[in-house]
């Protein structure tokens, strides 16, 4: 087994891994390497051929491959090493990594590690849809790869279950390729995708979005030939008299994403029960010293620009740790109160001389409300919001001036305006 040593090892070569590697190198880490299991760098961006990327990061609208290529070019400019077709088999608390790739088994010793493995789609087994298991059932991401990278059309008459962003984008993509998208079916009374995708991908193409509906049965023994959809009441129970049959030959599942954390569990990293990703502090460091995490492996983001922003924090602090330049930090806990589903990071450094961004999601749809940050009985900050929905992430920036006012754990709540 070959033995190698690096200052910072990045696991994952998608947008989070690329951003972290570049920032680690900029910060002064001399030996940085990216380990990527796919055949090329870029991750999921390579199959996202639609535009809408880079508005925050580059102030212009790019496709996914264009966004990825900018960072891949920077990786090459910085002479950052990377290994493709390389699967990380294990990591331990001493930051030793065993990987298997084109060069065989590799034993890598790292001063710091950044986890950037991204997320995976929920499958049919995770949502327990009754019916036959014929051909023609795909996750939305798998269908996207088949169409945009492999050149295969997945079906002609399609129903999409779930209104996640990939599903909404695939509704438009399939329509442009000549398929008929019969409906997008969503269990919740609100979409789980961005409003702009509902407008651009559904409304613009007259594709119906059926909220508070479920697929109660999948028909077709050898190949899908239709689905039965049913309305749901306020308790999420099926209203049987509302059931109707929709003929189709393909069913796409867009029912949520889950951070991919097999390696995190193996090394005993604490995971958040809500996000399903690592618990991190404002340096993006996990509870295991020297192991950092960023991007969709921590929590599922709306925009890749925010993944990049988070990856820079992880890469910079991983390099600082590897170089032995850590400073004293004073961490307090962040807690989601009324109306808040989760907050990332879960711990913040009140001694920080830089702004700290808190990302969170609300539990329901709220109009004309406030986000209130409290430390005990004291209100630290309040922000008015005209409109908040669970599918769009909220962000609050804490300046060093605000951080100095915090002397204990903080709680964020949604309260009436």
Closest CA to 13 of 47, 58, 43: 43
The pTM of this model reads 0.94
Q: Are 46 and 95 in contact (CB under 8 A)?
A: no
Token digits of residue 214: 């479920």
Closest CA to 264 of 238, 293, 244: 293
Closest CA to 53 of 41, 40, 70: 70
Q: Which helix (H) or strand (E) holds 316?
A: helix 304-322
Average of per-residue pLDDT across 345-354:
94
Other beta carbons within 10 Å of 37: 17
Q: What is the pLDDT of residues 17-67, one digit of tens each?
A: 999 999 999 999 999 999 999 999 999 999 999 999 999 999 999 999 999
Closest CA to 398 of 332, 311, 300: 332
Q: What is the pLDDT of residues 98-130, one digit of tens each?
A: 999 988 999 999 999 999 999 999 888 777 788
Does 259 score more than 70 pLDDT?
yes
């Amino acid at each position: 087994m070959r033995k190698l040593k690096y200052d910072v090892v990045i696991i994952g070569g998608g947008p989070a891994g690329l951003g972290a590697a570049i920032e680690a190198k900029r910060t002064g880490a001399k030996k940085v390497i990216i380990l990527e299991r796919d055949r090329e760098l870029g991750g999921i961006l390579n199959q996202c051929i639609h535009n809408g990327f880079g508005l925050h990061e580059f102030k212009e609208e790019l496709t996914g491959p264009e966004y990825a290529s900018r960072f891949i070019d920077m990786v090459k400019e910085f002479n950052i090493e990377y290994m493709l077709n390389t699967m990380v088999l294990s990591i331990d608390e001493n930051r030793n990594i065993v990987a298997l790739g084109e060069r065989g088994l590799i034993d890598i010793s790292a001063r710091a590690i950044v986890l950037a493995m991204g997320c995976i789609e929920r499958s049919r087994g995770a949502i327990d849809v009754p019916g036959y298991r014929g051909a023609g059932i795909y996750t939305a991401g798998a269908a996207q790869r088949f169409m945009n990278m492999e050149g295969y059309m997945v079906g002609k008459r399609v129903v999409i279950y779930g209104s996640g962003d990939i599903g909404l984008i695939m509704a438009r993509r399939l329509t442009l390729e000549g398929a008929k998208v019969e409906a997008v079916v969503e269990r919740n009374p609100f979409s789980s995708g961005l409003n702009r995708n509902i407008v651009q991908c559904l409304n613009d193409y007259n594709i119906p979005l059926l909220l508070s509906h479920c697929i109660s049965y999948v028909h077709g023994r050898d190949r899908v030939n239709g689905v039965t959809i049913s309305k749901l009441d306020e308790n999420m129970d099926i209203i049987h008299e509302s059931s109707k049959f929709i003929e189709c030959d393909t069913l796409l599942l867009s029912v949520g994403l889950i951070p991919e954390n097999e390696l995190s569990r193996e090394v005993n990293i604490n995971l958040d029960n809500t996000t399903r990703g690592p618990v991190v502090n404002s340096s993006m460091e996990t509870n295991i010293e020297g192991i950092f995490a960023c991007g969709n492996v921590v929590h599922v983001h709306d925009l890749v620009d925010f993944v990049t922003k988070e990856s820079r924090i992880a890469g910079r602090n991983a390099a600082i740790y590897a170089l032995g330049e850590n400073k004293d930090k004073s961490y307090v806990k962040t807690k989601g109160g009324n109306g808040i589903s989760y907050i990332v990071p879960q711990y913040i450094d009140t001694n920080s001389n830089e702004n700290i961004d808190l990302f969170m999601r609300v539990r329901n749809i709220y109009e004309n409300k406030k986000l209130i940050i409290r430390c005990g009985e004291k209100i630290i900050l309040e922000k008015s919001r005209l409109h908040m929905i669970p599918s769009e992430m909220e962000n609050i920036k804490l300046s060093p001036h605000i951080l100095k006012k915090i002397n204990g754990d903080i709680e964020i709540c949604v309260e009436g305006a």
